[in-house]
Amino acid sequence: MRLTSNSGLLQAMDAQDLKSPQLYINRELSLLEFNQRVLAQACDESVPLLERLRFLCIASGNLDEFFEIRVAGLKQLQELGSGLATADGLSIEEVLDAIHTRAERLVAAQYRCLNEMLLPGLADQDILLLSHSDWTAAAHEWLGRYFEHEVEPVLSPLGLDPARPFPRIQNKSLNFIVRLEGRDAFGRDSELAIVQAPRSLPRVVPVPAEGSQRLLVLLTGIVQAFVQRLFAGIRVLGCYQFRLTRNSDLFVDEEEIDDLRRALEGELAHRRYGAAVRLETSSDCPHDIVQFLQRQFALGELDTYRMPGPVNLNRLSAAYDLVPRPDLKYPAFTPGLPRRLAGGADLFAAIGQKDLLLHHPYQSFAPVMDFLRQAAADPQVLAIKQTLYRTGSDSPIVDALVSAANAGKDVTVIIELRARFDEEANIELSNRLQEAGAHVMYGVVGYKTHAKLALVVRREPGGIRRYCHLGTGNYHPRTARQYTDYGLFTCRDEVGQDVHELFLELTSLTRTPRLNCLVQSPFGLHEAMIAKIEREAEHARAGKPARIIAKMNALVEQQTIEALYRASRAGVRIELIVRGVCALRPGVAGVSENIEVRSIVGRFLEHSRVFYFENGGTSEMYLSSADWMERNFFHRIEVAFPIERPSHRQRILDDLSLALADTAQAWRLRPDGCYERVSGTESPRISLQGELLARNAAGTLFGASGS
């Protein structure tokens, strides 16, 4: 989002109005800019070739979710007649128009990346994604048999006439609209038919080949090549791909229901058929057919995207696993372990010595699972309490909790049923836990439970002792290999008491607890962060050391941004590492010239939240589950926890310093809202993720400094 005019910005600075729309970047357009940075990984020749294909698929999937949730929400507001303007001053209509313009450029860039970079690069490696014109006679014969035996039996062509209306199209399903000529067995003259590709069929089909070649064909190409076989005696004039994206946000009026789980189960059944928000067609689809589809779904030109290649690039992700070429993928690594945990150490004894900090995925997530497994098997453990937001459908975390419940321990689980796109899996997991005898609760009405907490209550010779795990990421073993997050084990009394109070708050009817060292939302986290930012400004005005380093996924909450602007004006050095959406506009003279915003996009998804305050020389550092967003501050249950051990603070600060020095995968946000790559004169370039892999992974054992 570019500034509208320099003169207008100067007026905003002169007025010192920190609410001026020109000081804010539109959230939706910032999210599209993030997707552009993901796509840049697909175009980066320093990234292994099959990983580049994977990044292209991630960018496509991200765009799907953007329309399913963000655009769908804007359209709902528009239909309700909302005149609400965003902090940047754009109306809903202006935002939707800008989204279409930016998304069209993004889609065009995706297909240029595929057609001009990735497909030729794969072909050079004897990996061929064949179009129909490239099929050899042998391939054509094999694919014909494949269509006859595997595809045709599950296809149901649907002719369109008054007795056969346009079928319901599922969200993101692959479909074909077929133009026909001729009469069928009943003398009907139908000009159009719909063929829906079954979701049970693989979207990428490997074709037998000689030698080292890998031949792949998309299901769409197979259907289009043999579609004539579905319409005996009728002439097929054309067959065109299309895809519909629908609103996938679930709405449950929690104040009006008796059972959240049952209500969500009912909503999930309707998700596939939410309101239409985007129509994608192949670029060869005739204009009159596009218009016909637009009328069916009540969509217009701003909702329509024509694809110069296969519709839905995300299905190409199957090729990654079909091609066994480790030389074209990131090198495998073995996560490291702290020395105190080597050789299957007793976790309770190790935590009892001193706090233990883990940094995933560079260090193994196994200790977190072992913590719960040991607790389940330990006869001295009386109770386990756990929050679960995303954990996967086949979760070893849940297995351990089930074992603990079966062993007669008191197990309480706060499972967030409303974790977007994980609702169904979480409902199934809640059933498993309840069947095992665990106490399962769904949090607090009106607030998502996003905090990452585990509490083990253990009887020891000195009395009851509480062992805690607090993290920035989910209890999900698979994403722990892909997302960067910190986790802290501790048995400090003040932390254990705070976690105990938080679970009481979540499970029973209590007043807001008075916490010793943790900070929670929606009670106090926002105020605490504002106060700490303002304190840095006071230190700067007094000539004391003042600096803020904050790492998060998103920064959009307006009051927090205003506080950062005020601190910048006071002379505080502010370094923000924001992976995704950032509504703050850095580098504006007189407002934010002391603020730098970076984004790092690489092999791993930067997911950890870290807040560092210089505090006049007595530094403070917090890890948190919360981004600086309105939803995290006011509509979710989140926790920020302090890092007390000096070695841990220094270790995390070293990680932040690496992020601020990154010249390999870092991007810098400019005042105009666009991002530019950070480049350095050093050779080799500095890579945050590469350096942390080298330091921590490959099974390296750490001494005291890495514990």
Sheet bearing 304-307, strands edge to edge: 158-159, 192-196, 174-181, 235-246, 276-282, 304-307
Q: For residue 394, count other CB atoms closer than 10 A to its CB.
A: 12
- Biggest CA pair distance of the chain: 90
User: Is a pLDDT exceeding 80 seen at residue 86?
Assistant: no
Q: Which residues pair with 547 in a beta bridge?
A: 573
- Specify the number of domains making up the chain: 3
Kindly report the three-state secondary structure assignment for every residue of 285-326. Answer: CCHHHHHHHHHHHCCCHHHEEEECCCCCHHHHHHHHHHCCCH
Termini Cα distance of the chain: 44
Q: What is the identity of the amino acid at 576?
A: L
355 and 290 co-located in one domain? no
What CATH number is given to the structural domain containing 298?
Answer: 3.30.1840.10
pLDDT of the residue at 603? 96
> In Å, how far from its chain's centre is CA 258?
31
Domain annotation covers residue 528: yes
**Mean pLDDT for the stretch of residues 94-117:** 96
580 and 625 co-located in one domain? yes
Question: Taking Cα atoms as reference points, which of 228, 232, 201 lies closest to residue 217?
Answer: 201
Q: What is the identity of the amino acid at 128?
A: L
Domain annotation covers residue 95: no
pLDDT-wise least confident of 116-120, 190-194, 253-257, 498-502: 253-257
Domain carrying residue 547: 520-706
CA–CA distance from 530 to each of 16, 27, 633 (Å)?
19, 21, 11
Domain annotation covers residue 560: yes
Question: Taking Cα atoms as reference points, which of 282, 244, 319 lies closest to residue 51?
Answer: 319
**Mean pLDDT for the stretch of residues 256-281:** 64
Q: Each residue of 489-506: pLDDT tens digit?
A: 999 999 999 999 999 999
User: Is a pLDDT exceeding 50 seen at residue 577?
Assistant: yes
Structure tokens at 214: 């890998």
What CATH number is given to the structural domain containing 556?
Answer: 3.30.870.10
State the average pLDDT for the chain: 89
Q: Each residue of 460-499: pLDDT tens digit?
A: 999 999 999 999 999 999 999 999 999 999 999 999 999 9
Kindly report the three-state secondary structure assignment for every residue of 468-516. Answer: EEEECCCCCCCHHHCEEEEEEEECCHHHHHHHHHHHHHHHCCCCCCCCC
Domain annotation covers residue 30: no
Domain annotation covers residue 273: yes
**Mean pLDDT for the stretch of residues 222-245:** 94
Name the one residue in this structure whose structure tokens are 């009026």. Answer: 253
- The answer to whether 450 is a known catalytic residue is yes
What angle do helix axes 27-43 and 49-65 make, rounded to 10 degrees?
160
Structure tokens at 619: 């530094």
426 and 460 co-located in one domain? yes
344 class by beta-carbon count within 10 Å (0-12 exposed, 13-18 middle, 19+ buried): exposed
CA dihedral 446, 449, 450, 451 (to 10 degrees): 140
User: Is a pLDDT exceeding 80 seen at residue 266?
Assistant: no
Q: Each residue of 134-190: pLDDT tens digit?
A: 999 999 999 999 999 999 999 989 888 766 788 989 999 999 999 998 877 666 677
* Alpha-helix runs per DSSP H in 635-696: 646-661, 688-696
370 and 393 co-located in one domain? yes
Q: What percent of the chain has pLDDT over 70?
A: 90
User: Is a pLDDT exceeding 50 seen at residue 12?
Assistant: no
Find out whether 289 and 266 touch, Cβ atoms under 8 Å: no
Set 450, 526, 539, 607: catalytic member: 450
pLDDT of the residue at 270? 56
311 and 369 co-located in one domain? no
Residue 584 — φ and ψ, nearest 5°? -75, 140
For residues 480 and 390, give the distance between their C-alpha atoms in angstroms, rounded to a whole number: 11
Question: Strand, coil or helix: what is 357?
Answer: strand
pLDDT of the residue at 702? 41
505 and 628 co-located in one domain? no
Residue 473 — φ and ψ, nearest 5°? -125, 175
The DSSP secondary-structure symbol of 65 reads H
Domain annotation covers residue 299: yes
CA–CA distance from 312 to each of 107, 304, 316 (Å)?
11, 14, 8
Name the one residue in this structure whose structure tokens are 């602007």. Answer: 565
pTM over 0.75: yes
Handedness of CA 423, 427, 429, 433 (dihedral sign): positive
503 and 421 co-located in one domain? yes
Find out whether 355 and 492 touch, Cβ atoms under 8 Å: yes
Find out whether 627 and 600 touch, Cβ atoms under 8 Å: no
Structure tokens at 269: 């059944």
506 and 536 co-located in one domain? no
Structure tokens at 219: 């299901």
CA–CA distance from 54 to each of 38, 66, 591 (Å)?
10, 18, 40
User: Is a pLDDT exceeding 50 seen at residue 703?
Assistant: no
543 and 593 co-located in one domain? yes
pLDDT band at 302 (very low <50, low <70, confident <90, very high): very high
Cβ neighbours for 402, distance < 8 A, ≥ 6 positions apart: 432, 433, 436, 438
Last residue of a domain, one of 310, 328, 346: 328
pLDDT of the residue at 56? 97
Indicate the helix (H) or strand (E) that contains 411: strand 410-415
293 and 397 co-located in one domain? no
Indicate the helix (H) or strand (E) that contains 669: strand 666-669
Q: Each residue of 613-648: pLDDT tens digit?
A: 999 999 999 999 999 999 999 999 999 999 999 999
For residues 277 and 245, give the distance between their C-alpha atoms in angstroms, rounded to a whole number: 6
Q: Each residue of 502-532: pLDDT tens digit?
A: 999 999 877 888 899 999 999 999 999 999 9
563 and 581 co-located in one domain? yes
User: Is a pLDDT exceeding 50 seen at residue 192?
Assistant: yes
User: Is a pLDDT exceeding 50 seen at residue 65?
Assistant: yes
Domain annotation covers residue 322: yes
Strands 127-129 and 214-218: parallel
pLDDT-wise least confident of 61-75, 208-222, 437-451, 560-574: 437-451
**Mean pLDDT for the stretch of residues 344-354:** 90
Last residue of a domain, one of 303, 328, 353: 328
CA–CA distance from 686 to each of 517, 651, 658, 680, 692 (Å)?
36, 18, 8, 8, 11
pLDDT band at 272 (very low <50, low <70, confident <90, very high): low
Question: Taking Cα atoms as reference points, which of 610, 20, 677, 685 lies closest to residue 359?
Answer: 610
Domain annotation covers residue 26: no
Last residue of a domain, one of 298, 328, 358: 328
User: Is a pLDDT exceeding 90 seen at residue 101?
Assistant: yes
Name the one residue in this structure whose structure tokens are 């060292």. Answer: 517
DSSP sequence for 193-243? EEEEPPTTS-SEEEE--STT-EEEEEHHHHHHHHGGGGSTTSEEEEEEEEE
pLDDT band at 419 (very low <50, low <70, confident <90, very high): low
624 and 583 co-located in one domain? yes
For residues 363 and 56, give the distance between their C-alpha atoms in angstroms, rounded to a whole number: 27
CA–CA distance from 608 to each of 330, 353, 356, 474 (Å)?
22, 26, 17, 11
